[in-house]
Chain A
C-alpha cells in the first residue's frame, strides 16, 4: 500500500504538535515586539512590527500544515497565553474572529493558493490590535479625569493620541507590514526551507 497518497481533512497529531510549536514561535516574536512598547510610540505601533517579522515563520507554518482551523487555534492560544500572563482577554475575541476569517479565506483556496495566503495573513495580523483595545476604549475615560486639573489643551492632545482615528492608522500600517512580511516569508521559504527539505 502507498500511504503517501492518503490525506485527510482533519488535523493529525503531527499537525497539532506543529501548531503548538509555531504558536510558541509566534508568541515569542509577539512578546519581543511588545516589549519595545516601553517606548511610547511603539506601544501603539508594535502590531506593525509583529506583522513584519512573523511573516517568515507563518508562511512556513501555512505551507506545512494545511488543515482548517490552524490559524484560529494559533491565534486563540497566543491570546490565551497573553491572558495567562496578565495582559487581558480582549485579544482572545479578536484572535478567534479574525483567525476564523483568515482560515475561511485560505480554505477557499484549499490552503494552496498564494494569493489567498497573502490576504489571509493580512487579515490575521490585525488581531494583535485587539490586545490594544483596552487602551483605546478606556483611554478617553482616563484622560477625562485630568480635565479639571490640567486643562483642555493637555487632555485634548492625549485624546487625539489614543483616538479611534489612530487605531485606524495602525490597522492600515499593519496591513502594509503584513503584505511585506508575507513576501519576505515566501522568499525565505524558497531560499531555505524548500531546499532544506523540511517543507
Chain B
C-alpha cells in the first residue's frame, strides 16, 4: 500500500459531438497509480483511446462533445484545464508517426514542445543534450524526418515528448506501424520512463511487448470498465481467454494455427527472375529466383527497410525494374503485371475515389462484364458484409469497412494477385481473425492474396507460404508451418542483437575529401595559407607581362618609332615576369615544407591509433592493406597539400582577374571567349566519368597483386610440397597481368581527356572571328581588339592549370577513405585510467550479443553466464557455435555489442584495458614466437621476471628438457614465427609464458590440440600446475579432457543451451549426450 494515486476518473462519461452511437465511455471510474505502467485494452471502439484523450485534454477540448463526471490529478480537478495547459504535465505519443510531427527535421521537432512552453534557450539546449544521450539518437540529430524509418520516427516522437519533462505519458496504439525490432525499442523506452518514476498509460491491441513492463491492466468494453488486474495475474491468462476478451495473444511466440485442410491448391507458379531495383540513396532489392505458388495465401515478412514494400511494388508493376516475370509459362510485361495485380495500401484513403460504395465497386468491373454489373455489385456487397453501406460515401466508413470496400473493388476487377500492405496493423483480435477469413474468401474466389505484414498472429492463422525479405534480398521462401515460424523468430532475434551500426554510418554526412585533407593538415594551416597568398600574387604578377605586351603591340601597329616610348613597358613586363617566378617558387617551397610535416603527423596519428583498436580488429586487418595505406596512400596526399591548395586558388584568382579585365575592355568578346570552356568541360567530364570508381578499382587490383605476391613467397614451402607450384604461380601471373592491363585500358579510355584540354584552352576560336566582325562594324577599336587577343592567350594558362588538378581530386576520395577507415575506427570503449579499485575475479556475462561486423548475423544472441573465481569451466559446442567468441570477449579482444560483461560486479568497460589484460592469460592453438631468444620469448609473460624465474617456469611446463638440448639453450634465437621449433614445443613455451604471467584467469582455447600423445601427459601436468588456484576457462573439442570441470557450458547457435556438470548434462541435454557418444566412440577407453 501507499502508492499515491496520481490520476483519478470519477464517473466520467463522454459523447462525441455528432455521434449517433451514444456514449463513447460511460460511468468510467478508475485510478492510474503513480510511477507505474497501466495498460488499457479491449476491442476496437471500446473507448480506451477516449480515456487516454480525457487525460491529455483532447477530449473534450479538441474532440468536442458532452462530458460529465470529473478527472482529478493528485486530488485536484483538471477538467477545466485546456489541452495546452495540461501539456506540461502530460506527454502524448500517437499511433501514426507521420502525422505527429510539426517540423521538418529532428532537432526542431525535439525542441518544439519546449519552445511552445516558453523555455529559455539554454534550458532547451541542456535538455536537448540530455535527451539525445538518454535516447541514443545522436546519429539522427538534424536529419530530415521524412527520410526516417517508422521505428526511428517513433523514437524521436518519444524523445521530443519527454523533453519538457512531463510526469505522465499517454500512448495511443504506439506500435501500430512498427516492426518487431522497433517495438522492442519502444518497450525499452517505456521501461526507462518507468525507471525515472513517470506514470505511463498505454492503450493498445498488441500486448505481448508489455509483458515485463506493465503493472496494471484495465479491460474496457463498450465504454465501461470491465475489470482491473495486476500484471502477473493478467499475463498468466491463456490465449483462449485473451481472445474471448478480444485481445491479441499474450505469449511472446506464436505457434502455427493453420489446419491442414485449409491449404490452398496451387495452380501454377508466379516466377520472378533477376529482379533488381535501386533507389537514389543506394538501397534496393535483388531477387535471383523466386517462385510464388498461386492460389495460396502468401505472407511477406521482414524488418522495416528490408525491402518488402519495394519488392511488392515491383511485383505488381507499379515500379519499373529489371528482371523477368512469368505466370506459369507466360512472360509478363510491366503493363501486364499492373493488369493482373492490385495493391490494397496501408492507407486506404488513397484508393477510394467515388461518391458511393456502390459506384466504387461498379467502376472496377471490367468492361466486358458490364451487362451483369448490378448482380456482381450486389453479390460483392453481400460477400464483404457491406450491403447496408451501398449508398454511403466510402470515406465516411470506418477503417475496417473501407478496407473491405477496397477488397471488394479488387475482387470486382477480376485481378489474379491481390497485395495487402500491413492490413492488420491496428486491428484487435476479432477483426484480425475476420480478415484472415476474408483472405480465405479471396483465395476461394480464385485470386492469390499476398500479405505484407509484421503480424505474426495473422501469419500463424492463415498463411500457406512465407517469404522472408532482409537486407534487400529474399532470405527464405517456403511453406508456412511450425518450423517456418521458428525460423522467423530466430531471424528477428539475431537482428535485434546487432546494434544498428550500419544505419548510423550511412546517415553520417560525408565530408568532401578536400575538406577532410584540410582538417588532417591542421598543423600546417598557416604555412599553407601563406603559400596560397604568395601564389596568388605570383599569378597576378604573371598577368602584367601580357598587358604590357598588348600595349606594345598597339604602339607597334600605330607605328610608334621612338624606342624610348617602349622602354617603360618592357621593363615593367620583365619585372612582372621575374616577380611571378620568384613568388611561385617561394610559394611552393613553403607549401612543400608544410606538407612533409603534415604527412609525418598523419602517419604518427595512425600509428598511435593502432594500439587503441580492439585487439580482435587488429588481428583481422590485412597487413598488405595496412602497409598500402600508411605508406603509399598517405604519400599520395602530398600532391594535394603541396600543390593543389596553392596552385588551384592562385590560378582561379588569376583567371578571374584576367577575365574581369577583359570584360571591362569589351564585354561581348569577354563572354565569347568563354564559350569554348563549357564545351571542353563537357568533354572532360565525359571522359572522367567514373574516375573515382576506376581509381578505387585500381587500388583493389594493386592490393590483390601485392597479396598474391606475399602469399606466394610466404607459402612457398606448402606450394612446393604439394606441387602446386604451377597453379600458384599462375595466379600470381594472372594478377600481375590484370594489374597491367587494367591500367592500359584505363589510359586508353582517357584519350578524350586530351581533346578536352585542347578545346578548353582554345579561347581564340571565338574571339578572332567575332572580334573581326565587330572591328569591321566599327564597334571595336583596334587597341581593344589586340588587348583582348593577348589576354585570351594569357588566360589559357590558368585554365589548363586548374583542370589539371581536377584530375587529382578524384583520387582524393579513395585515399581519404582508407586513412579515415583507420583513424575513425571504433576504439575500444574503456576508461583510460583505472580508479584503482580492484574488481575481483568473478566473471559474469549478462545477455551478451555480438556480431563480428555489421554485415553478418549476430554470433552471440543473448548469452548469460556466471564463472565464479577459481572454478574450472569448459565451453563446448559444435563448430561455429560461438564458444571461442565468448572466450575472446571475456579476454577483452572486443567489446560486446549488447549486454554486459563484468568482473566481480564491475563492468569491463569501467576497467582500464591494461588492468583487464593483466587479469587474463590467453593460450590458443597458434602461438606466436618473436624473432628473439627463447628466454626473451618466455619473459614476454612478465617483463620484470628474472632469468631464474623464467627457467623455473620453463621447467614446470616441461620445456626445460628440449631447450637445454638446443645449441644455445635459452639463448637460441627462434626465427620469425619461431620456425625452428615443433608445434608441441611451441605450445609448452606458450604455457611457460602464461605461467610466468601468473594471471588469475586462464583461458585455454583448444590449447592441447597439437600435442603428440607422449607429451600429452606432460602438458596435462604443466597445465594443471599452471591453473592451480586460478579461474580456468577451457574451450575443448575433446570432451574427455574436461569431464572434471565445475561447470560445462554447452554453447549452440550463439546461445547457451545447457549448463552443468558432466553427469547432469548427460542426463538433461540430448545434444551433449550425442556429442559425448561421438567422442568416446573415437577412443578406445571408456570413461566413467
Question: Using Cβ atoms and an 8 Å threshold, which residues of chain A touch B67?
Answer: 1-3
Chain B positions within 8 Å of A4 at CB level: 17-18, 64-66
State how many angstroms separate the Cβ of A180 from the closest Cβ of chain B. Answer: 21
What B residues does A1 contact at CB under 8 A?
Answer: 60, 66-67, 79
Q: When A3-B65, A4-B66 are in contact, do A196 and B60 touch as well, CB less than 8 Å? A: no
Residue of B nearest to A194 (CB): B393
Asked whether, in the complex, the Cβ of B355 is within 8 Å of the Cβ of A191, the reply is: yes
| B65 (CB) vs chain A CBs: closest residue | A4
**In the complex, chain A residues 142-199 whose Cβ is within 8 Å of any chain B Cβ:** 191-192, 195-198
Option from B17, B64, B393 in Cβ contact (under 8 Å) with A192: B393
Structural contact, B395 and A198, CB atoms closer than 8 A: yes
In the complex, residue of chain B having the shortest beta-carbon distance to the beta carbon of A1: B67
Roughly how many angstroms separate A196 CA and B942 CA in the complex, as a whole number? Answer: 82
B residues near A198, Cβ cutoff 8 Å = 395
Q: Please, which residues of chain A bring their CB within 8 A of the CB of B355?
A: 191-192, 195
CA of A87 to CA of B64 in the docked complex: distance in angstroms? Answer: 42
A1–B355 alpha-carbon span in the complex (Å): 36
Please name all residues of chain A whose beta carbon is closer than 8 Å to the beta carbon of B394 when the two chains form the complex. 196
Q: Is B779 an interface residue (CB 8 A)?
A: no
Closest chain A residue to B392, Cβ basis:
A195
Cβ of B17: which chain A residues have Cβ within 8 Å of it?
A: 3-4
Query: What separation, in Å, do the CA atoms of A149 and B64 have in the docked complex?
Result: 71
A191 to B353, CA, bound (A): 12
Known A191-B355, A195-B355: A2·B65 in contact at CB below 8 Å: yes
- Closest A residue by C-beta to B352: A196
Residue in A closest to B67 when the chains form the complex, CB atoms:
A1
CB distance from A192 to the nearest CB of B (A): 6
A3 to B65 alpha-carbon distance, docked (Å): 6
CB of B396 within 8 Å of the partner chain: yes
Q: When chains A and B are docked, how far (Å) is the Cα of A110 from the Cα of B394?
A: 31
Q: Mark A57-76, 1 if CB is under 8 A from B, else 0.
A: 00000000000000000000
**Given contacts A4-B17, A191-B355, are A196 and B64 in contact (CB under 8 A)?**
no
Q: Say yes or no for B62: interface residue by CB 8 A criterion.
A: yes
B63-92 contacts to A (CB < 8 Å): 64-67, 79
Distance in angstroms from B58 CB to nearest chain A CB is 11
Residues of chain A within 8 A of B392, CB atoms compared:
195
Q: Judging by beta carbons under 8 Å apart, are B395 and A3 in contact?
A: no
Q: How far is the CB of B72 from chain A (nearest CB, A)?
A: 16
- Please tell me if B209 contacts chain A, counting CB pairs below 8 Å: no
Whether a CB of chain B sits under 8 angstroms from the CB of A9 is no
Contacts of A195 in B (CB 8 A): 355, 392-393, 395-396
Tell me if A10 is interfacial: C-beta within 8 Å of chain B. Answer: no
Whole-angstrom CA separation of A3 from B395 in the bound complex: 26
Q: How large is the interface on A (under 10, 10 to 19, 20 to 34, 35 or more residues)?
A: 10 to 19
B3-40 vs A, Cβ < 8 Å mask (1 yes, 0 no):
00000000000000110000000000000000000000
Main secondary structure of the interface of A (DSSP, over half): helix
Task: Take A3-B60, A3-B61 as given contacts and tell me if A192 and B395 are in contact as well, using a CB distance cutoff of 8 Å.
Answer: yes
Write out the residue numbers on chain A whose beta carbons fall within 8 Å of the beta carbon of B60.
Answer: 1, 3
Q: Is A197 a contact partner of B65 (Cβ separation < 8 A)?
A: no
A residues 20-68 touching B (CB-CB < 8 Å):
none
Would you give the 0/1 interface string for B375-408, flagging 1 where the beta carbon is closer than 8 Å to chain A? 0000000000000000011111000000000000
Cβ-defined contact, A196 with B396, below 8 A? yes
- Give CA–CA (A192, B355) in the complex, Å: 6
Q: Mark A1-16, 1 if CB is under 8 A from B, else 0.
A: 1111000000000100
Residue of A with least CB distance to B79: A1
Report the minimal beta-carbon distance from A13 to chain B, rounded to whole angstroms.
8
Contacts A191-B355, A192-B355, A195-B355 given: A3-B393 contact, CB under 8 Å? no
Q: How far is it, in angstroms, between the C-alpha of A192 and the C-alpha of B354 when the chains are bound?
A: 8
Chain B residues, CB < 8 A from A3: 17, 60-61, 64-67
Given A192-B393, A196-B395, A197-B395, do A2 and B62 touch, yes or no (CB 8 Å)?
no
Residues of the B chain whose Cβ atoms lie less than 8 Å from the Cβ of A191: 355
| A196 CB contacts on chain B under 8 angstroms | 393-396
Q: In the complex, what residue of chain A is closest to B353 when comparing beta carbons?
A: A192
User: A197 contacts B66, CB within 8 Å?
Assistant: no
Q: How far is the CA of A195 from the CA of B61 in the complex (A)?
A: 25
Contacting residues, chain A, for B395 (C-beta < 8 A): 192, 195-198
CB-based nearest A residue for B355: A191
Would you give the shortest CB distance from A114 to chain B, in whole angstroms?
Answer: 21
Query: A14: which B residues are within 8 A, CB to CB?
Result: 62
Q: How close is A35's CB to chain B, nearest CB, in angstroms?
A: 24
Q: How far, in Å, is A147 (CB) from chain B's closest CB?
A: 21
State the Cβ distance, A102 to closest chain B Cβ, in Å.
28
The answer to whether A197 and B396 touch across the interface, beta carbons within 8 angstroms, is yes
Of all chain A residues, the one with the shortest Cβ separation from B354 is A192
User: How far apart are the CA atoms of A1 and B15 in the complex, in Å?
Assistant: 11
- Chain B residue at smallest Cβ distance from A13: B84
Q: With the chains together, A196 CA to B349 CA distance in Å? A: 11
Look across to chain B and name the residue whose beta carbon is closest to the beta carbon of A188: B355
CB of B65, distance to nearest CB on chain A (Å): 6
- B36-69 interface code vs A (CB 8 A; 1 in, 0 out): 0000000000000000000000001110111100
Taking the nearest CB of chain B, how far is it from the CB of A172, in angstroms? 34
Contact code string A74-118 (vs B, CB < 8 Å = 1, else 0): 000000000000000000000000000000000000000000000
Chain B residue with the shortest CB-CB distance to A192: B355
Which residue on chain A has the smallest CB distance to residue B80?
Answer: A1
Q: How far is the CA of A139 from the CA of B558 in the complex (A)?
A: 47
Instruction: Name B84's closest neighbour in chain A (CB-CB).
Output: A13
Q: Name A2's closest neighbour in chain B (CB-CB).
A: B66
Residues of A within 8 A of B66 (CB): 1-4
How far apart are A32's CB and chain B's nearest CB, in angstroms? Answer: 20
Who on chain B is nearest to A195 by CB?
A: B393
> Taking CB as reference atom, which chain A residue is nearest B83?
A13
> In whole angstroms, what is the CA distance A198 to B393 when docked?
11
> What's the Cα separation between A197 and B395 when bound, in Å?
8
Residues of A within 8 A of B65 (CB): 2-4
Residues in B neighbouring A192, C-beta threshold 8 A: 355, 393, 395
Give the complex CA separation of A14 and B393 in angstroms.
25
- Could you say which residues of chain B place their CB within 8 Å of the CB of A2? 64-67
Residue of A whose beta carbon sits closest to that of B356: A195
The residue on A at minimum CB distance from B61 is: A3
Across the two chains, which residue of chain A brings its CB closest to B62? Answer: A14
A14 to B58, CA, bound (A): 12
Chain A: which residue is nearest B102 at the CB level?
A17
Taking the nearest CB of chain A, how far is it from the CB of B729, in angstroms?
67
Task: Tell me which residues across on chain A come within 8 A of B62, comparing CB atoms.
Answer: 14
Bound-complex Cα distance A14 to B392 (A): 27
Q: A3 vs B62: C-alpha distance in the bound complex, in angstroms?
A: 9
How distant is the Cα of A198 from the Cα of B62 in the complex, in angstroms? Answer: 15
Among residues of B, the one whose C-beta sits closest to the C-beta of A196 is B395
CB of B129, distance to nearest CB on chain A (Å): 29
> Which residues of A lie under 8 Å from residue B393 when comparing CB positions?
192, 195-197
A3 to B394, CA, bound (A): 29
B18: chain A residues at CB < 8 Å are: 4
Distance between Cα atoms of A191 and B79 in the complex (Å)? 39
The residue on B at minimum CB distance from A191 is: B355
Q: How far is the CB of A135 from chain B (nearest CB, A)?
A: 27
- What CA separation (Å) do A14 and B82 show in the bound complex? 14
Closest beta carbon of chain B to A53's beta carbon, Å: 18
Residues of B within 8 A of A197 (CB): 393, 395-396
Assembly CA distance A195 to B66 (angstroms): 24
| A-binding residues in B (CB < 8 A) | 17-18, 60-62, 64-67, 79, 355, 392-396
Apart from the given pairs A1-B66, A192-B393, 17 other A-B contacts in the complex at a CB distance below 8 Å: A1-B67, A2-B64, A3-B60, A3-B61, A3-B66, A4-B17, A4-B18, A4-B66, A191-B355, A192-B355, A192-B395, A195-B393, A196-B393, A196-B395, A196-B396, A197-B393, A197-B396
Residues of chain A having any CB pair with chain B under 8 Å: 1-4, 14, 191-192, 195-198
What are 14 pairs between A and B in contact, CB < 8 Å?
A1-B67, A3-B17, A3-B60, A3-B61, A3-B64, A3-B67, A4-B17, A4-B65, A4-B66, A14-B62, A191-B355, A192-B395, A195-B392, A196-B395
Q: Which 5 A-B pairs have the closest CB atoms?
A: A196-B395, A195-B393, A4-B17, A4-B64, A3-B60
